[in-house]
Structure 1
Amino acid sequence: MPHAKNWSRPIDLGDRRILRPGPLRWLRALGWMTALFFLIVLTAYPLTDFLGRQLPDKGVWPFLVHSAGAIVAILAYTIAVWLAEGRRPTELAPRPALLHCAAGLTIGAAVFTAVMTTMIVFGLYEVTLQGPVPAWRAAGLAIEAGVIEEIMVRAVVLRLLWRAFGPWAAFIVSAAVFGASHLGNSDSSLFAAFCIAIEAGVMLGAFYALTGRLWVSIGVHAGWNFTQGYLFGAAVSGNDYGPALAKSVALQDVPAWLTGGTFGPEASLPGLLICAAVGWATVWAAYKRGRFTRPQSASPLSSDLEPLP
């Protein structure tokens, strides 16, 4: 059984080198946030685009391509934090990764299943079984989105805004950024962006705050996307995840705000209400554990990874 410290700990916001205490630390945190965000964008996504053009878009290849982007994002973040912040990123500590990811995948699949079950029971969706099909593409896309987006939005934006302005401003702004980032997707809308900001922005940030690690948030994100795009065959934020076990289509005579329409169930009222409940329950659990009031930098005595000199 893993030691409790490996399951849950305060977020390590960073307090060395570029984030050392002193004048204008908030400004240094914002500058570093911007640089680190674009570092991830400019390393992970160009790699997947390049590999996607060079390799076949069938079989196991899409899984390998998208997984490569996720691995590069982890490596780029780890090296950048090691150099600029003088620490090993405990938010990506390998020891609890398997247990945390398994928990997150289970939670993500369960929450999305609850959303779809609600809409099916109330006659908002038509679901048609299609039979077994390869899951490689959907699994690769889910892993890529889970890893890269959680690093960018939670480990970079939320953490460094927290370092600069405190937890509540960080939650509000990072959730808004995550929602707004989906406005360019197919069939998006302001309501869809609002739903994603509340659902994922709060819920995934809350799991990060509660555990001090990214792995649960990554697992929830990937588990939700895979269940949505592959098991149910619904649109994922306006995107098609390819071959799926079923095909889920929102009824056309029902308002889009109830079903999410062609954007997908994330933009639905049931999705908003269920994910908001899970998210705020997790925020409350983190609050009760003092995650928003205690010092949020790791101590060498409480960490399973020693800080760099």
Structure 2
Amino acid sequence: MSLTRVSSPAVGLDVGSRRFLHPGPLRWLRALGWAVALFLVFGLAIAVVQLWPGMLFRGEGPAQAVVTLALCTAAYGLYAGLTRLAEGRWPSELALRPAAAELLGGLAIGAVMLSVVVGLLVVLGLYQVSGPRAASPWGMITVGVSSGLMEELVVRAIVLRLLMRAFGAWPALALSAALFGALHLTNPHATPVAAVAIAVEAGLMLAAFYLLTGRIWMSVGVHAAWNFTQGWVWGARVSGFPVRDSFYLSVPRPGAPDWLSGGAFGPEASVPAMAVGTATAIVVLAWAWRKGNFRARADAA
């Protein structure tokens, strides 16, 4: 009989367990402090990504999209370097081998979800859609790239992951979703109802894809495609922001109740979006639970 030790597949999510996140006293506080530090650094990075391309190039075109993607790539490199330095690991949440497949899958899911939301709004008599018409997609491609890549890096790879390290999966889900909703309160036409809708339908749903895969690529794809499909394909407001160029134009019908249609904030504050996003979140969270991904990976011996 062989006495060779066979290592079993790792179970649970890799949320960091070495160096600054090593086991020991006040680990939760160290994880929380590290989350705050990274949040501040990459909150500044988001501002650079959103503002600098527009300062370099006038008009919404491919140059802005390319520069935005380059800045996001640099931010991901910085995150990987900081994680290696402070946590003694290369971030598995940014693993490259499965990135293409998970990103493409997320893009398809996000586009379908948002289209179902608009379809429900039309069928229920809450929205009217006109078009199609000629329109450049580059502005919304840039928005999709920056929001998908940077917001998922901050809210899922940093906030959700490190809150999970500090407090466990359920508190991390609730707190990160609430933060995601609260961050949208600064958007045009935002209301507490809209923030709650974003927290539940998007905050929990996007977190679910991270918990399912242990990586952020599917969440990035869903987020980017949701915004692009909402803004360019259907021409609806994106989290309160109006869209200038779109293939179709979608607006609430006169007299449609804001609490049903989302009002001036857009479809994301609507009841159909809440239903679609929440149902997706429940299904994906249950899948992640069955995989055992609601617990952190055991600390290395």
State TM-score, norm by structure 1.
0.90
RMSD of aligned residue pairs (Cα, Å) = 1.7
Deviations 1:179-218 (A, max 9, x none): 0000010001000000000011110101100100100000
Deviations 1:80-109 (A, max 9, x none): 111111111111111111000000000001
1:165 maps to 167
2:97 maps to 95
1:305 maps to none
Which secondary structure state, in structure 2, belongs to the residue aligned with residue 156 of structure 1? Answer: helix
Contact 1:128 1:246 in 2 (8 A): yes
Deviations 1:47-76 (A, max 9, x none): 542332122223312312332332232122
Identity of aligned residues (%): 44
- The CA deviation at 1:298 is 8.3
2:66 maps to 64
1:289 maps to 291
Q: How many residues align?
A: 292
Distance 1:20 1:54 in 2: 43
Out of 109, 115, 118, the position equivalent to 2:117 is 115
Contact 1:238 1:263 in 2 (8 A): yes
Distance 2:131 2:148 in 1: 26
Contact 1:9 1:211 in 2 (8 A): no
1:151 maps to 153
Give the direction of change, closer, same or farther, for the CA distance of 1:297–1:67 in structure 2 (3 Å limit). farther
Give the direction of change, closer, same or farther, for the CA distance of 1:298–1:277 in structure 2 (3 Å limit). farther
Out of 182, 185, 194, the position equivalent to 2:184 is 182
Q: Which amino acid aligns with 1:265?
A: P
Which secondary structure state, in structure 1, belongs to the residue aligned with residue 220 of structure 2? Answer: helix
1:34 maps to 36
Deviations 1:25-68 (A, max 9, x none): 10000000000111111234225423321222233123123323
Which secondary structure state, in structure 2, belongs to the residue aligned with residue 181 of structure 1? Answer: helix
Contact 2:11 2:297 in 1 (8 A): no
Deviations 1:198-254 (A, max 9, x none): 011110101100100100000000011010001000000011343110110011301
Distance 1:240 1:68 in 2: 26
1:304 maps to none
Give the direction of change, closer, same or farther, for the CA distance of 1:77–1:254 in structure 2 (3 Å limit). same
2:275 maps to 273
Distance 2:23 2:279 in 1: 36
Give the direction of change, closer, same or farther, for the CA distance of 1:299–1:210 in structure 2 (3 Å limit). farther
Out of 262, 283, 290, the position equivalent to 1:260 is 262
Out of 31, 45, 48, the position equivalent to 1:46 is 48
Distance 1:70 1:194 in 2: 28
Give the direction of change, closer, same or farther, for the CA distance of 1:47–1:113 in structure 2 (3 Å limit). closer
Contact 1:11 1:208 in 2 (8 A): no
Out of 231, 234, 239, the position equivalent to 1:232 is 234
- The CA deviation at 1:299 is 7.0
Which secondary structure state, in structure 1, belongs to the residue aligned with residue 96 of structure 2? Answer: coil
Which secondary structure state, in structure 2, belongs to the residue aligned with residue 88 of structure 1? Answer: coil
Q: Which amino acid aligns with 2:58?
A: P
Out of 194, 206, 209, the position equivalent to 2:208 is 206
Q: Which moved more, 1:47-56 or 1:250-259?
A: 47-56
- The CA deviation at 1:277 is 0.4
Gaps of 5+ in 2: 1-9
Contact 1:138 1:230 in 2 (8 A): yes
Deviations 1:131-151 (A, max 9, x none): 232211111110110111001
